[in-house]
Structure formats: structure tokens, C-alpha cells
């Protein structure tokens, strides 16, 4: 019958072929959709397997890698340190990198959200001078400690030219990151100089100061014009790569000193892995350097929602090293204790989102799969405290070549 049909009617043949092609495309389309949703369709046992595969934690390497085009040199570190503390890099010459990343606070800040230019004072006593038209910085300041290792993976590999920076990974190396705070209105630029002009304005200022001319020549002996934006970024990045504290009790234990961690800390470490924290907080930095949705509550001091990476409420997994200094916690500093954070994770694992803009289904399955009991809180907290290390370069220059206040307007502390 069919044979007769298609032989006698060629338009029917065309119709059948068309239908076959459309059906094939439709099946292919369904297959693609099914595959792209695979992540959310993972069954509990697949997720558990994946979490176990990821859950490995290591000590940090003993030394730091420098990029091929920005080797370490004492001259560069010295110059980078002076620049880091010198408010000459800011539009109104009132704020330095060190204002928000000060060695007295582990190169981070004790405020939830930073106060940039037009601010005065240090840490919690920092406030805006009046009148003020500068908004708060919308995120919590990271520590610079160990950013030399940003991006380090489960195989302990990392590439200083491809090192994710910021809560949304929007910069890719310390060099690329270094000029960004200078260009940001609410951090260092202010309103008087445009984003396009600010770096050149700063370069011109540096060229007028003899001490900087000499320091740049020593640090970059092969450059015809040593003071330029590339070398400015390179010097800052070289100094930052020396800000490392890789000898926590955890590192010592993992390198073979069995007694370096207490029994309680070791128990906490085991639970940290079993509960599922290490599915994201893994590798030597206890971060996978990926972005995830957790639905941290918004900070009420901000007038707009912070939608994070790709506007999807994704934020990068932070390192759990030096929590003593990264306090207050999360991308917007809204959490104040490890216990509060553990309660937040417990809510997620019980199907509750704390952020009304982030439905529970959109929260990362690895967070929803956490198996967290109240009795685990204490030991996990003990383990996290073994990741602090007070031993790092705290040197503050006595003065900076511009003659401006070292570290910006922080002296009212």
C-alpha cells in the first residue's frame, strides 16, 4: 500500500521526507536539551560520587611561580610595596591599595563593604567625609594573602597568567587586576577624572617624582620608558606575589608533621570532607575557583541587587584560608561567624533559600546535598581555624616617594 502511495504521488514522497527530517531534528533538539539539563538531573548517587571525586584538600606549594614575562626581582618587590601604600595612585590622592588591604588586617578589611575615596579612618571607624557623593563599594574586600596561588587546582597546577580574581572571576591575573581599582569610581578614582584618563594621569604624576623615576629604572632596566601602565601593574603584582602564608597547622600536618593539628582539628577535617564542604572548597586553597549559586542574603546597605557572575547570582568559592582576616564573610560581608555560615548551609540542605530572589531549585546541587548536623559545627569550626597563619610580610614603608600619608587617610584610627 505504502509503496503504491509514494510511487503514485511524488508530492507525498516530498511530504514524508520533510516529516522525517523535521522529526529527526526535533529528536536531536530533545536530546540536546536533555544533555544540557544533565547537571540538574543527576541522581543522589551520581552527585555523591562527583562530590567524593572533588573532595581533596592539599597543602600549598612551598614557593610561588612568577609569570615568564614578569619575573621576581628585589627591585620590583620594593617598588611594588611603595606603590601599594602610596595614595598617589588614586584620583584625589587620598586612598591607597593598602587602605582596604592593610597588613594589620591580613591584607583584607574588617568592614562588610569598603569605603573608597573621600573616606577617612581605618577598618570599622572608617567613614565618608562630608559632603559625599561616592557610593559604598558593593563587595567585601578579599585578602591579598596567597592570591599568588589563585586558580590552583586539584592537581596543584596553576598558571599566574590565568589566575581568576574577584568574587565573579572577572580578571585573570594579578597584573590585569592591578589597574582596575584605580579605574573604579567608588574605590580609587572618584568623580573628577574619567575612567579613560585616570591611569595616564597617575603615570604622569609618577614621572615627576625623581625617586619613582629611579625606582622604575632599577626595576625595569630594559624598558625605554620604565614608567608606564604595564610596568606599574607588573610591580604591584610582583609585590602581591610575595604576600604568602603557606605554613598553617593544616599545611604542616599535610606535609608530614602528624602532631601539627590537634585531634579535634583532624576530626573536623574529616567531617568537612564527609559532609560535602570539600566538593567546592577543595585543592590547596580550599577553593575550586568556580562560581556557584548559594543565595547569600543581600546587604541592606546597597540599593541594588548584586547579581554576581553573568547576572545569575553566581559567586566564586572563596578560599577558607585566613578566615580570621576575611571576616566579615561572603561576597557582601553579611555573615559574621562560622556558626552563622554553618546554619545557612544547613538551611540550604533542608530546602530553604535565604534570598527571596534565589529560588531553592537554582541553588547549587552540591550545596543542597550537604549532610550537615548541628553536632558537626564545633569540629568543622576547629578545622577551619587551623587554616589561619599569622606569619606573613607585615612591613609598612615608613614613607612613600610622593610624601603623601602612607596607606591613605587612615590615621584617625
Q: How far is the CB of 315 from ligand HEC (least distance, A)?
A: 4
Q: How far apart are CA 211 and CA 297, in angstroms?
A: 47
Give whichever of 12 and 56 is closer to ligand HEC, judged by the CB atom: 56
- Which residues, other chains included, contact 83 with Cβ-Cβ below 8 Å and sequence gap of 6+? 89, 97, 232, 235, 236, 239
Q: How far apart are CA 156 and CA 61, in angstroms?
A: 8
Give whichever of 138 and 218 is closer to ligand HEC, judged by the CB atom: 138
- What is the CA 248 to chain-centroid distance, rounded? 20
Q: What does the block give as the cell for 322?
A: 585566613
Q: Which residues bind ligand HEC (CB under 6 A)?
A: 89, 95, 97, 99-101, 114, 116, 137, 139, 141-142, 144, 147, 150, 165-167, 174, 177-178, 181-182, 187-188, 236, 275-277, 279-281, 292, 294, 296, 315, 317-318, 320, 323, 326, 329-331, 338, 341-342, 345, 364, 366-367, 370, 372, 380
Q: How far is the CB of 80 from ligand HEC (least distance, A)?
A: 9
Nearest residue to 178 via CA among 210, 218, 216, 147: 147
Nearest residue to 339 via CA among 293, 384, 284, 399: 384
Nearest residue to 291 via CA among 311, 317, 273: 317
Q: How far is the CB of 330 from ligand HEC (least distance, A)?
A: 4
Q: How far is the CB of 212 from ligand HEC (least distance, A)?
A: 15
Q: How far is the CB of 147 from ligand HEC (least distance, A)?
A: 5
Q: How far is the CB of 188 from ligand HEC (least distance, A)?
A: 5
Give whichever of 150 and 245 is closer to ligand HEC, judged by the CB atom: 150
Give whichever of 19 and 170 is closer to ligand HEC, judged by the CB atom: 170
Give whichever of 269 and 338 is closer to ligand HEC, judged by the CB atom: 338
Q: How far apart are CA 407 and CA 403, in angstroms?
A: 11
Give whichever of 16 and 264 is closer to ligand HEC, judged by the CB atom: 264
- What is the CA 93 to chain-centroid distance, rounded? 26
369-to-42, 45, 250, 350 alpha-carbon distances in Å: 11, 10, 26, 9
Query: Is the CB of residue 328 less than 8 Å from the CB of residue 110?
Result: yes
Give whichever of 244 and 296 is closer to ligand HEC, judged by the CB atom: 296
Give whichever of 44 and 256 is closer to ligand HEC, judged by the CB atom: 44
Query: Is the CB of residue 395 less than 8 Å from the CB of residue 77?
Result: no
Q: How far apart are CA 107 and CA 45, in angstroms?
A: 41
Q: How far is the CB of 63 from ligand HEC (least distance, A)?
A: 19
Give whichever of 260 and 279 is closer to ligand HEC, judged by the CB atom: 279
- What is the CA 155 to chain-centroid distance, rounded? 20
Give whichever of 259 and 300 is closer to ligand HEC, judged by the CB atom: 300
- Which residues, other chains included, contact 297 with Cβ-Cβ below 8 Å and sequence gap of 6+? 334, 354, 355
Q: How far is the CB of 114 from ligand HEC (least distance, A)?
A: 4
Q: How far is the CB of 18 from ligand HEC (least distance, A)?
A: 46
Q: What does the block give as the cell for 221?
A: 632596566
Q: How far is the CB of 142 from ligand HEC (least distance, A)?
A: 4
Please report the sign of the dihedral spanned by the C-alpha atoms of residue 115, residue 120, residue 126, residue 128. negative
Nearest residue to 357 via CA among 310, 315, 316, 307: 307
Q: How far is the CB of 379 from ligand HEC (least distance, A)?
A: 11
Give whichever of 167 and 220 is closer to ligand HEC, judged by the CB atom: 167
196-to-16, 58, 170, 178, 266 alpha-carbon distances in Å: 61, 42, 19, 15, 51
Amino acid at each position: 500500500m505504502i509503496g503504491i502511495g509514494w510511487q503514485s504521488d511524488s508530492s507525498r514522497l516530498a511530504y514524508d521526507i520533510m516529516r522525517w527530517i523535521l522529526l529527526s531534528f526535533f529528536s536531536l533538539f530533545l536530546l540536546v536539551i536533555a544533555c544540557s539539563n544533565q547537571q540538574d538531573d543527576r541522581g543522589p548517587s551520581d552527585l555523591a560520587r562527583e562530590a567524593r571525586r572533588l573532595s581533596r584538600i592539599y597543602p600549598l606549594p612551598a614557593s610561588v611561580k612568577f609569570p615568564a614575562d614578569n619575573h621576581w626581582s628585589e627591585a620590583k618587590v620594593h617598588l611594588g610595596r611603595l606603590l601599594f601604600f602610596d595614595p598617589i595612585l588614586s584620583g584625589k590622592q587620598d586612598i591607597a591599595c593598602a587602605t582596604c588591604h592593610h597588613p594589620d588586617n591580613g591584607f583584607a578589611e574588617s568592614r562588610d563593604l569598603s569605603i573608597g575615596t573621600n573616606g577617612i579612618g581605618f577598618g570599622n571607624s572608617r567613614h565618608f567625609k562630608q559632603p559625599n557623593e561616592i557610593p559604598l563599594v558593593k563587595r567585601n574586600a578579599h585578602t591579598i594573602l596567597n592570591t599568588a596561588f589563585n586558580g590552583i587546582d586539584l592537581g596543584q597546577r596553576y598558571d599566574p597568567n590565568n589566575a581568576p580574581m574577584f568574587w565573579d572571576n572577572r580578571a585573570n591575573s594579578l597584573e590585569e587586576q592591578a589597574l582596575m581599582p584605580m579605574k573604579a569610581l567608588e574605590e580609587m578614582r572618584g568623580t573628577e577624572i574619567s575612567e579613560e584618563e585616570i591611569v595616564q594621569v597617575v603615570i604622569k604624576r609618577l614621572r615627576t617624582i625623581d625617586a619613582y623615576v629611579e625606582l622604575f629604572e632599577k626595576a625595569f632596566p630594559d624598558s625605554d620608558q620604565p614608567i608606564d601602565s604595564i610596568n606599574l601593574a607588573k610591580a604591584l603584582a610582583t609585590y602581591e606575589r610575595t604576600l604568602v602564608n603557606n605554613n598553617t597547622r593544616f599545611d604542616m600536618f599535610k606535609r608530614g608533621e602528624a602532631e601539627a593539628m590537634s585531634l579535634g582539628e583532624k576530626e573536623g577535617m574529616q567531617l568537612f570532607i564527609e559532609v560535602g564542604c570539600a566538593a567546592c572548597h577543595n585543592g590547596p586553597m580550599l577553593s575550586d575557583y568556580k562560581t556557584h549559586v548559594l543565595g547569600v542574603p543581600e546587604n541592606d546597605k546597597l540599593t541594588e541587587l548584586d547579581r554576581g557572575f553573568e547576572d545569575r547570582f553566581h559567586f566564586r568559592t572563596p578560599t577558607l584560608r585566613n578566615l580570621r582576616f576575611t571576616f566579615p564573610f561572603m561576597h557582601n560581608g553579611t555573615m559574621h561567624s562560622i556558626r552563622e555560615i554553618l546554619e545557612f548551609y544547613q538551611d540550604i540542605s533542608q530546602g530553604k533559600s535565604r534570598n527571596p530572589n534565589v529560588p531553592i531549585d537554582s541553588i547549587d546541587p552540591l550545596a543542597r546535598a550537604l549532610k550537615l548536623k548541628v553536632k558537626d559545627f564545633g569540629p568543622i569550626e576547629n578545622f577551619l581555624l587551623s587554616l589561619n597563619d599569622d606569619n606573613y610580610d607585615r612591613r609598612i614603608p615608613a614613607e612613600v616617594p610622593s610624601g603623601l600619608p602612607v596607606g591613605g587617610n587612615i590615621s584617625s584610627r
